[in-house]
Amino acid sequence: MAQIIDGKGLAQQIQHELSKKVQLLKSQHGVVPGLVVILVGDNPASQVYVRNKERSALAAGFLSETVRLPESTTEEALLNVVKKYNQDDRFHGILVQLPLPEHINEQNVLLAINPEKDVDGFHPTNMGNLWSGNRVMVPCTPAGIMKMLEAYQVEIEGKTAVVIGRSNIVGKPMAHLLIEQNATVTLTHSKTQNLPEVCQTADILVVAIGRGHFVTKDFVKPGAVVIDVGMNRDENGKLIGDVKFDEVAEIASLITPVPGGVGPMTITMLLEQTYKAALRSSSSKEE
């Protein structure tokens, strides 16, 4: 039976350490890390994420602000809000909660965020830095997964890793972070042929396909480490992952639960990157 990776417990531990660093930054440099989250519309899942981010930011001693805009907000109005926070020195991190309503061009909004405040790590400048080995801001979910693997002493070097899902938010940066740690990585997706067979080669399997209970034990090599990024609702409205937890847990060596696995670590990395951005801004002021 697999050992369960306690993402929630690890997140609390890291956030506790972070709150001490925040106090130190405040007392030594007079700087409080500031994070603003901009939410457009009333997507229920987004509402939950934003509430959790706000709660965690305040608990860690951050200056936290949430801007809630109606679904009918125009792209121009949203860009003006982003511009305002780009120019506000109290805020070191700007996060526009995705997905945005269909009438707003996501790429235009991401491009408008100052890359130095892009704590989600989605700006093309930050993506380019990541791929060229000069990372500053990294997408938070893959960063959180790497932290979990490190905390549970999972050996990555020389291992075979398979990532299911090729999104810019999880799949692609995840593959790159694993390559950086000298894993041999296969990036798969919905068009991959013989997907279960490909996944069975994995020592580390990261699943981010967005389909409830998609991965069964037929995809998993006995003893593999299985990371489930999925957040789906079943027919009863219960939160489930992309992995059929009960049957996969019988053969994996380590597995993340949903909820309580990857999600809390994503928020933790968001806070950590905001703190680092505040640290950089306090050093640049001193120079």
Q: Start-end ranges of CATH 3.40.50.720 in the chain? A: 140-262
Active site residue 53: yes
Q: Which two tokens stand for residue 198?
A: 């490909």
Q: Is 90 annotated as a binding residue?
A: no
Q: What is the CATH number of domain 140-262?
A: 3.40.50.720
Predicted local distance difference test score (pLDDT) of residue 284: 67
Question: What's the confidence (pLDDT) of residue 45?
Answer: 80
Residue-wise burial string across 220-238, b where 16 or more C-beta atoms lie within 10 A, e elsewhere: bbeebbbbbbbbbeeeeee
Query: Residue 53: exposed, middle, or buried by beta-carbon count in 10 A (0-12, 13-18, 19+)?
Result: buried
In the set 97, 181, 228, 242, the catalytic residue is 97
Identify the segments of the chain with pLDDT beneath 50: 287
* Helix (H) or strand (E) run with residue 201 in it: none
pLDDT for 23 equals: 97
Q: Please give the pLDDT value at position 287.
A: 47
Q: Is 153 a catalytic residue?
A: no
Asked if residue 167 belongs to a known ligand binding site, the reply is yes
**pLDDT digit string (tens) for 243-253?**
999 999 999 99
What pLDDT shows up at residue 286?
55
Of 6, 117, 118, 120, which one is the catalytic site residue? 120
Of 15, 53, 118, 147, the active-site residue reads 53
What are the pLDDT digits (tens) for 140-183?
A: 999 999 999 999 999 999 999 999 999 999 999 999 999 999 99
Residue 208, pLDDT score: 97
Q: Is 120 a catalytic residue?
A: yes
pTM, entire model: 0.94
Instruction: Measure the CA–CA gap between 53 and 55, rounded to whole angstroms.
Output: 6
- Fold of the domain built from segment(s) 30-114: Rossmann fold (3.40.50)
- Asked whether residue 166 is marked as a ligand-binding residue, the answer is yes
Which residue intervals of the chain bear CATH 3.40.50.10860? 30-114
Of the chain, the end-to-end C-alpha distance in Å amounts to: 54
